[in-house]
Amino acid sequence: MTRPRLVGLSANVQRPSKTRALVDAVLRAAGARGALDARALDFVDAGPGLGAAWTRDQLPPPARALLDAIEAADGLVVGSPVYKGAYTGLFKHLFDLVDPGALAGKPVAIVATGGGARHALVVEHAFRPLFGFFGALQIPTAIYASDADFREGVLVEAGVRARAAEAGGQLAALLAHRAAQGAAHRAAPVALAAAE
Ligand SMILES: Cc1cc2nc3c(=O)[nH]c(=O)nc-3n(C[C@H](O)[C@H](O)[C@H](O)COP(=O)(O)O)c2cc1C
């Protein structure tokens, strides 16, 4: 059985990045709970051409690779820094270019980081409607972290770390369930033929 592909996408435009660190923490937690093919990408990988593209066809190859990875993934960890009380404009811009059916039923974990705690509910009132539009299977635990939760770029706050572990476990369980369902689905015609 092929391993489920879990893609972490972080909308940071600088490195080191707290958002990327939080996305990585959820990917690690998911990888510890199940056999996954996990990788992380961020907007520094995409380069500035992402913002200049008005259509999918105009995306330069590094930005197109990000879009392709999102659409081909079996599950996602999506993250953005909070800018002006919401995900960044560039984050929304990328998802504006994603095929509307590409994320339907796929497990998605949501994370965000901000300077302080004031915008913690952004994960609920900004991100969830967007992934609701896509019909994604959003896991229950969304995670927000602020500057105070990191020390020298490392996520240290115990409560946020626990939520990242919880989210990773939820993702891994859903991905394993969907992989098993897919395998059973593929095996079904054989079983039926044998019964005839
Ligand atoms: C243009 C801009 C707008 C921001 N707006 C907010 C905001 O509304 N609320 C907040 O808590 N932090 C805000 N911040 C702070 C960032 O969200 C915070 O530093 C974030 O953790 C940076 O993530 P990164 O390290 O992945 O780049 C803003 C930062 C920038 C550059």
Q: Which fold, 5-195? A: Rossmann fold (3.40.50)
Query: Structure pTM?
Result: 0.95
- pLDDT of 191: 55
DSSP state string for 49-108: HHHH-SSGGG--HHHHHHHHHHHH-SEEEEEEE-BTTBS-HHHHHHHHTS-TTTTTT-EE
Which residue numbers in the chain have pLDDT < 70? Answer: 189-196
Q: Backbone phi, then psi, for 39, in 5-degree steps?
A: -150, 155
Q: Is 84 in the pocket of ligand 1 (CB under 6 A)?
A: yes
Determine the residue of 82, 90, 119 to mutate for testing ligand 1's pocket, defined as the one with the most ligand atoms within 8 A of the Cβ atom.
82
Given a contact cutoff of 8 angstroms between Cβ atoms, the answer to whether 189 and 195 are in contact is: no
For ligand 1, say whether the CB of 83 is within 6 Å of any of its atoms. Answer: yes
How far is the centre of ligand 1, averaged over its atoms, from the C-alpha of 82 (Å)?
A: 5
Predicted local confidence at residue 160, as pLDDT: 98
85 CB under 6 A from ligand 1?
A: yes
Rg (CA), the chain: 17
Opening angle at CA 77, ends 14 and 90, nearest 5: 45
Q: Apex CA 88: angle with CA 128 and CA 49, to 5°?
A: 125
